[in-house]
Structure 1
């Protein structure tokens, strides 16, 4: 498929009118940037002299941030702690224009925060502050009440599972029962073995696909085994699409009718693959919601992910960047 400038403008305009609900584990991503001039006298590790810092939405919140580049009607459901990280995450999402009425505060529960420390443009270490305990019963009732009100008005539901305690099978069944007839896209986690039967799309990365299919992790770099794993998942969950993100190698698309396509990456240079999956599921789901085929949606998502891996940190793709990328590669780029 060849994308013309007019055609790209047309579907980007259609993206703007979609109403999306993102459900999942929320995180705050903190980046500390500094210089390294010496090793610590206490241990053989570099000393990073912090010069600047930045904060971005992470986890399901990063999916919302990606969506907000293309459509302004994005609502999010998740939990945060009554702490500085939660307050900062809420403030950032509201600044981006996200509807945060579905974000619930849980006392005595930390907001998931991931701190990445960089020296000389290289990540030195990552520090995680989180809990994986299930959310309290009282909060679960509030979650169900919010969903009961909101699902009917949405065009698209995206579920982001990071196995941090929000999602369980009862909640998934509740969502799918009320979202019948809508596009439901899922980014699963191999540590939370949920039944996704009935969803439109499941988007694992290759490591998750191998694990969820029950294959040994020695096969993670074997594309044939990744393909077989994706087939197992497609048959297990009877979903319309399985989209496996392959990092700098591109994507693998399986459709319900058996068609399999390997879509090569269009990135020119890879700096950081983190967050590319969030861009991929956002753009693929938006395109499906506008009536694109799975193959067309995957092409669009692949270009968006290719842009993001060329950036450091938790990044997004803008409509202008997506348009330029699509016009720069007139060939379909699949094998």
Structure 2
């Protein structure tokens, strides 16, 4: 049965909207400390680049469907060219992208030595969408909606997603009866009224609810503060579903008029959690877009996230890996 569901992902047409970036990795080894300062000297062995942020979500989709579209903002620079090249190679349609003549493409460089993250260097200018850019976004979304099965709003707090953006895009999608899932940023508290489901991680959920997380030991369904946060966010965001990812404890789904549903983690080994949230929202939306229930979709997302945390760097899940995860 799961194989048939995974095959059906190929017909899902999904638009990812949000903060796009280029992830640059410098790999090397450390054998000595610099004589100039007490810092390690990294001897570089290779460099790699991957789509990051909302672009990584679209990349996760494109391994399962040829109908993955990406809308974000890039600059007129070499990073934008590299990002487009990578996305085109992996089957992501970047036609809806906005190009800014004044802002650079967001790029993050991570230096990794012997599988240890040494430092990260960010190149970014955080600036909200202008009124003209927002109008362009809305025209593009409205034109695409009849051909879409779902939208993913991916907010990294870099300026693309604002309350005006959320209100207009969610309004358009709701009027068209389309599925919309949201991956929120803790640094950009917004009202998500009109979304189908919002997927914060535990830190983001507690921050949004304004409740201190005391990390009560024990099963998530016995964590009173966690249960309080989930129920509060359903009302606070005025949405029907909230899925909170819990790292090594899996995920917990909150729905109106239903008991919280816990999905234990499927991860066997954890090497790198970067990008796990991108994978979760991608597969959650894919599964819901082809008709799976929220519980079934969360289970698929949980299996996919369990695979990607076992890989180093910004990674994606392939079809055979997901099938094998369910068979195992």
**Following the alignment from structure 2 to structure 1, what is the Cα–Cα distance between the partners of residues 271 and 9?**
28
Matched, 1:41 2:42: no
Aligned to 2:198: 202
Matched, 1:258 2:254: no
Q: Which stretch shifts more, 176-185 or 223-232?
A: 223-232
**Following the alignment from structure 1 to structure 2, what is the Cα–Cα distance between the partners of residues 219 and 212?**
15
The C-alpha deviation readout for 1:261-304, integer Å capped at 9, x for no partner, is 22211111100111111111111111112221221111111100
Whether the 8 Å CA contact 1:210–1:220 is kept in 2: the answer is no
Aligned to 2:306: 306
Aligned to 1:115: 109
**Following the alignment from structure 1 to structure 2, what is the Cα–Cα distance between the partners of residues 292 and 49?**
48
SS of the residue 1:44 aligns to: coil
1:240-279 superposed matches below 5 A: 240-279=240-279
Whether the 8 Å CA contact 1:247–1:276 is kept in 2: the answer is no
Q: How far does residue 220 in structure 1 lie from its aligned partner after superposition?
A: 5.6
Aligned to 2:189: 193
Matched, 1:133 2:119: no
Q: How far does residue 323 in structure 1 lie from its aligned partner after superposition?
A: 0.7
Whether the 8 Å CA contact 1:33–1:119 is kept in 2: the answer is yes
The C-alpha deviation readout for 1:228-281, integer Å capped at 9, x for no partner, is 212211121232221111123211111222321222111111001111111111
**Following the alignment from structure 1 to structure 2, what is the Cα–Cα distance between the partners of residues 77 and 320?**
28
**Following the alignment from structure 1 to structure 2, what is the Cα–Cα distance between the partners of residues 212 and 256?**
19
**Following the alignment from structure 1 to structure 2, what is the Cα–Cα distance between the partners of residues 80 and 118?**
26
Q: How far does residue 147 in structure 1 lie from its aligned partner after superposition?
A: 1.5
1:12-51 superposed matches below 5 A: 12-51=6-45
Distance 1:36 1:27, change over 3 A: same
**Following the alignment from structure 1 to structure 2, what is the Cα–Cα distance between the partners of residues 80 and 164?**
12
Aligned to 1:294: 294
TM-score by length of 2: 0.94
**Following the alignment from structure 1 to structure 2, what is the Cα–Cα distance between the partners of residues 220 and 62?**
30
Q: How far does residue 137 in structure 1 lie from its aligned partner after superposition?
A: 3.2
Aligned residues: 321
List alignment gaps of at least 5 residues for structure 2. Answer: none
Whether the 8 Å CA contact 2:171–2:194 is kept in 1: the answer is no
List alignment gaps of at least 5 residues for structure 1. Answer: 1-6, 329-335
SS of the residue 2:43 aligns to: strand
